[in-house]
Structure 1
Amino acid sequence: MYIYTAYNLCIHSEIPLLELIESDGSPDVIIRFGKLSHLPPETANWSNRVVGELHGKAKVLIEDGREITIEPVTGADNSKLSPNILGACMSVVLRQRGLLVLHASSIVVNNQAIAFMGGSGWGKSTLAGAFHGKGYQIITDDVMPVNLDDGYPLIIPSFPQIKLWPSAADSLGHNSNNLPPLYPNAPKLSYTFTDGFQRTAVPLKRLYVLAKGDQHQITKLTPQQAFPEVVRHSRDVDVLIAPDCVSTHLRQCASLIKTVSICRFTRKPNLMELPDLVALVEKDIEELTTSDRSKNHTLNTKVLAEVGNRE
C-alpha cells in the first residue's frame, strides 16, 4: 500500500494519491479496492455508512470515518479516481469523524486562518493562489475541515495542491502549459508546491463568502445572514442525510457563526484585478486586528480598574 498524510490523518491506500505527502505509521484511514455490488442503496442513509457513485466511474462505500472501499466500473479510467477520493470521499470521511467540512480554501495571516467560501468556479483557489504568491501559507483548498471540539474553530491542513483553471494559472504567473491536468483531459490543472504550506492546525479568524458584482466590496454579515451561507456551502449535505447527521451539522454551523467573523466578499470577475483583491483583504484583516487590539485594551483596562477597586 501507499502511505500518505493529509488532514492530520495517516492514509493507507491501494490507489496512488500523488497529490499527498508521503508518510509512514499506522493507518487512520484505509482506501482499498473491493466488491460492492451486493450492497443495497438504502445504506446511504446511515450516518456511519455511506454508499454512492463517483460520477459513473466507481461505486464507493465509506464507513466509520476509517475505510473507503472502491469498485471501479468496468473499463473505467482509474486515473480519474484520485480527485474524487480526495474531494467527495474524504469530505464524507472527515464528517464521519465529527468535523464540519466547508467548501472553502484558506490561507494563514498572522498565525490565524482566513477562508474563502463558495461554490465551484467561484474563485476560492485563485484567491488562495494569489495570497500564496505574496508569501502567505495555504492551509486548505476546496475541502476545509473545521474542528469545533474545543469551543473555537481550528482549520485542519489538507495537502499542498491547488486546482486552477488555465486562465487563473496564467494570471498567477504559472505557465498553464507547464502544469499537469488533474487527470487526463481534465479542464482544471494541478499546481503543487513544497514551500508555503501550513502543516499544523490554525484557528479560523475570518470567513469570506464569495459573490460576484460590479465592484469590489466587503460587507459584514449578521448571524441570520451567515447561518444559511455556512449551511449552503457545507460539503456532502446531500449525502449525509441521516437525522443525527443533519442535527449535528446544523449545530456545528450555529457554533461557527457565534465564534467567527463572517463577511460577504463581492468581486468583479476580472483576473487582472487580483492584486487589488489581495490588498482589499489585507486592509480588512488589518482593520479587524486593530479592532481586536482595541477591545483587548479596553477589557484589560476594565479588569485592572476592578482589581484596583477591590484593593
Structure 2
Amino acid sequence: MKFFKVYNLCIASEFPFPELIETEGEPDVIVRFGKIDDVTAIQHDGGKNFVGEIPEVGKCFIKDGREIVISPLPNVDESLLRTVLLGPILCVLLRQRGLLVLHASCIRINHKCVAFMGGSGWGKSTLAAAFHQKGYNVLTDDVMPIEITAGQVLVLPAYPQFKVFPEALISLGHETKNLSPIYQNASKLSYKFAHGFQQTPLPLQRIYVLDKGSEHLITKMLPQAAFVELVRHTRAINLLTEKEFIASHLRLCSELIKSVSFCRFTRKPSLEDLPNLVKLVEDDIALLTAQHDSSNTNSLKTSSDYSLATKS
C-alpha cells in the first residue's frame, strides 16, 4: 500500500493516486480492492455503512468513515475510477466523518479563505484557476469539506489539481496540448500544478454563491437564502439518508451560516472578463476586512471607555 494525504487525512491505498501528495503516518482511511456480495450489501443502512453502484465503474462499500472497498468492473478506465474515488466516494466518507461537504472551490486570500459554490459548469474551477494564475494559493477544486467545531469553521485542503474546460485554461494563458482529459472522453482537462497549493486547513471567511446574469455584481444574502443554497450544493446529500445524518447536516448548515458571510456572485458568461471578476472579489474582501478591523477598533474603544468610566 501507498500512503497519501488529502482532506487532512492519511489514506493507505492499494490503488495508486498520482494526483495526491504522498505522505507517511498512521492511516485514517484504508482504500482496498474487494468483493462486494449480497452479504456486504445487507450492511447498507444509508449512514455508517454505505453500499453503492457506479455505472461503468463498479461497486463500492464505504464503512464508518474509515474504509473504502472498491470492486471495479473489468477493464474499467483507471482515470475514471480515480475520479469517482476522489469525488463521489470520498464525499460519502467525509460526510460519515462528520464534515459538511460542499460543491465548491476554495482559495486563500490573506490568512483566510473564500469559496465559490455552485453547480457543475458554473465556473467554480475557472474562477479558482484565475486566482491561482494571479498568485493566490488554492485549497480545493469542486469538493470542499468543512470542519465545524466550537464555532471555528475550517476548510480542509484537497490536492493540487484543477479540472477545467480547455477554453478556460487557454483564456488564462495555459498551454493545453500536453494535458489529458480527467478521464477518457471527458470534456474537462486535468491541470496539475506544483506551486500555489495550500496544504494546511484555513478558516473560512466568505462563500460566494455563483449565478449568471447580465452584469457582474456581488450582493449580500439573507440567512434563509443561504440555507437553501447550502442544502442545494451539499455533496452526497441524497445518499446518506439515515436520520442522524440528515439532522447533523441541517445543524452544520445552520452553524455555518452563523459563522460565515454569504454573497450572491452574479457574472456575465465571459472568459475575457476573468481579470475583472478577480478584481471584484479582491475589492469585496478588502472591504470586508476593513469593516472587520473597524469593528474591532470600535469594540476596543468601547471597552477602554467602559474601563475608564468604572475607574472614575
Could you say which TM-score interval applies, normalised by the shorter chain?
over 0.9
| Aligned position for 1:131 | 131
Q: Which sections of structure 2, spanning at least 5 residues, go unmatched?
A: none
| Aligned position for 1:118 | 118
Distance in 2 (alpha carbons) for counterparts of 1:180 and 1:109? 29
Distance in 2 (alpha carbons) for counterparts of 1:189 and 1:280? 27
Is the Cα–Cα contact under 8 Å of residues 77 and 183 in structure 2 kept in the other structure?
A: no
| Aligned position for 2:269 | 269
| Aligned position for 2:190 | 190
| Aligned position for 1:258 | 258
How far does residue 298 in structure 1 lie from its aligned partner after superposition? Answer: 1.0
Summarize the Cα distance change of 1:245–1:290 in structure 2 as closer, same or farther, 3 Å threshold: same
| Aligned position for 2:99 | 99
How far does residue 241 in structure 1 lie from its aligned partner after superposition? Answer: 0.8
Distance in 1 (alpha carbons) for counterparts of 2:309 and 2:42? 66
Aligned length, in residue pairs:
311
Distance in 2 (alpha carbons) for counterparts of 1:159 and 1:86? 10
Letter matched to residue 83 of structure 2? P
How far does residue 39 in structure 1 lie from its aligned partner after superposition? Answer: 4.2
| Aligned position for 2:227 | 227
| Aligned position for 1:278 | 278
| Aligned position for 1:46 | 46
Letter matched to residue 10 of structure 1? C
1:10-61 deviation per Cα after TM superposition (whole angstroms, max 9, x unaligned): 1111111111001122211111110002246564433111111223311000
Structure 1 residue ranges, 4+ long, deviating more than 6 angstroms after superposition: none
1:157-182 deviation per Cα after TM superposition (whole angstroms, max 9, x unaligned): 11111110111111121112121211
How far does residue 2 in structure 1 lie from its aligned partner after superposition? Answer: 2.0
| Aligned position for 1:25 | 25
| Aligned position for 1:205 | 205
Q: Which sections of structure 1, spanning at least 5 residues, go unmatched?
A: none
Distance in 2 (alpha carbons) for counterparts of 1:48 and 1:303? 48
| Aligned position for 2:162 | 162
Distance in 2 (alpha carbons) for counterparts of 1:120 and 1:37? 33
Say which is worse superposed, 207-216 or 165-174, in terms of deviation: 165-174
SS at match of 1:214: coil
TM-score using structure 1 length: 0.97
SS at match of 2:199: coil
| Aligned position for 2:58 | 58
Letter matched to residue 63 of structure 2? E
| Aligned position for 1:292 | 292
How far does residue 146 in structure 1 lie from its aligned partner after superposition? Answer: 0.6
| Aligned position for 2:140 | 140
SS at match of 1:163: strand
Q: Percent identity?
A: 51
Letter matched to residue 252 of structure 2? Q
Distance in 1 (alpha carbons) for counterparts of 2:162 and 2:44? 30
Say which is worse superposed, 108-117 or 35-44, in terms of deviation: 35-44
SS at match of 1:178: coil
Letter matched to residue 202 of structure 1? L
| Aligned position for 2:217 | 217
| Aligned position for 1:11 | 11
How far does residue 210 in structure 1 lie from its aligned partner after superposition? Answer: 0.3
Is the Cα–Cα contact under 8 Å of residues 204 and 260 in structure 2 kept in the other structure?
A: yes
Distance in 1 (alpha carbons) for counterparts of 2:39 and 2:172? 46
Letter matched to residue 102 of structure 1? L
Distance in 2 (alpha carbons) for counterparts of 1:304 and 1:181? 60
1:121-169 deviation per Cα after TM superposition (whole angstroms, max 9, x unaligned): 1100100000001100001111111110131211111111111011111
SS at match of 1:68: strand
RMSD: 1.2
SS at match of 2:17: coil
Distance in 1 (alpha carbons) for counterparts of 2:193 and 2:303? 46
Say which is worse superposed, 60-69 or 171-180, in terms of deviation: 171-180
Is the Cα–Cα contact under 8 Å of residues 103 and 142 in structure 2 kept in the other structure?
A: yes
Is the Cα–Cα contact under 8 Å of residues 167 and 176 in structure 1 kept in the other structure?
A: no
TM-score using structure 2 length: 0.97
Letter matched to residue 300 of structure 1? L
1:59-111 deviation per Cα after TM superposition (whole angstroms, max 9, x unaligned): 00000111100111234233320010000111111111111111100000011
Is the Cα–Cα contact under 8 Å of residues 77 and 184 in structure 2 kept in the other structure?
A: no
Distance in 1 (alpha carbons) for counterparts of 2:39 and 2:168? 42
Letter matched to residue 191 of structure 2? Y
Letter matched to residue 270 of structure 2? N
SS at match of 1:185: coil
